[in-house]
Amino acid sequence: MKAVNVNTLLSLKSNGEKFPVITAYDSAFARQIELAGIEVVLVGDSLGNVVLGYTSTVPVTMDDMLHHTAAVARGNDKSLLIGDMPFMSYATEEMTMDNAALLMQAGAQMVKLEGGAWLEESIFMLSERGIPVCGHLGLTPQSVNKLGGYKVQGRDEEAAQTIFTDAEILQTAGADLLVLECVPTDLAGRISKHLDIPVIGIGAGPDTDAQVLVLYDMLGFSPRIPKFTKNFLSDTGDVQLALKAYADAVRSGEFPAPEHCFT
């Protein structure tokens, strides 16, 4: 695989080619992900749940993210590396600029922020200063306490319209990618078709431009496996084959199947 950048992903979208994204938190798995030819690696703040043993992503700190982003960057120099900005690290525009810069200096090539229209100015400022941005709408786990649990979002017409409008606002502000988490298939399909930037789904059905899974969920290591995940390790017991099976299933459109989706 040649080194992936934002233009690679835009071309995949314009050619109608789906691509896989996966999380990683250390160098060893980052290397396996590069070997499997997976285009994008996300150092997600799911780190808190699957590696650090917290019950949510809220306790994850900038220091945690910098440490794990640097480790992933040392193991993989081909996949595009997205670093997640943790809870409250982008509460003000000044904090956003400072913390995004630290993540980029640790090895990220793009930063991801959870939230809608309220992020418009921050995304504009990051983008203007040369920092690529991935938005994140739908179920935004850092807001679990406000949302009242890990629930599918955008199920009624008004909520769906808010997500649709937020997606437009993020793209116009300068976002380069968008994650949609746990939203109905139909809504994710409409947003993916409407936006020019690639949309990455997780629990968002088969009609997005890309899919992302949490590495430890798709390897079956997490204590609670969400409905939208599939265990790709169980067939062979080989991590490299599991990653390749996931990448193939995303590219062919075989994953996600109806049992992984919400209506």
Rounded least distance, CB 254 to ligand KIV, Å: 20
Rounded least distance, CB 157 to ligand KIV, Å: 25
Rounded least distance, CB 84 to ligand KIV, Å: 5
Determine whether 184 is exposed, middle or buried from the number of CB atoms within 10 Å of its CB (0-12, 13-18, 19+): buried
Q: Which of 211, 200, 196, 187 has the alpha carbon at shortest distance from 262? A: 187
Q: Which is nearer to ligand KIV, 12 or 182 (CB)?
A: 182
**Residue, CB closest to ligand KIV:** 44
Distance separating alpha carbons of residues 13 and 72, to the nearest angstrom: 25
Distance separating alpha carbons of residues 162 and 59, to the nearest angstrom: 28
Q: Give me 4's structure tokens.
A: 């992936």
Catalytic position from the list 34, 39, 114, 181:
181
Interface with ligand KIV (CB under 6 A): 23, 42, 44-46, 84, 179, 181, 202, 212, 214
Which residue is listed with tokens 């809220």? 58
Q: Which is nearer to ligand KIV, 102 or 214 (CB)?
A: 214
Annotation says 254 is catalytic: no
Q: Which is nearer to ligand KIV, 44 or 135 (CB)?
A: 44
What end-to-end distance do the CA atoms of the chain give, in Å? 35
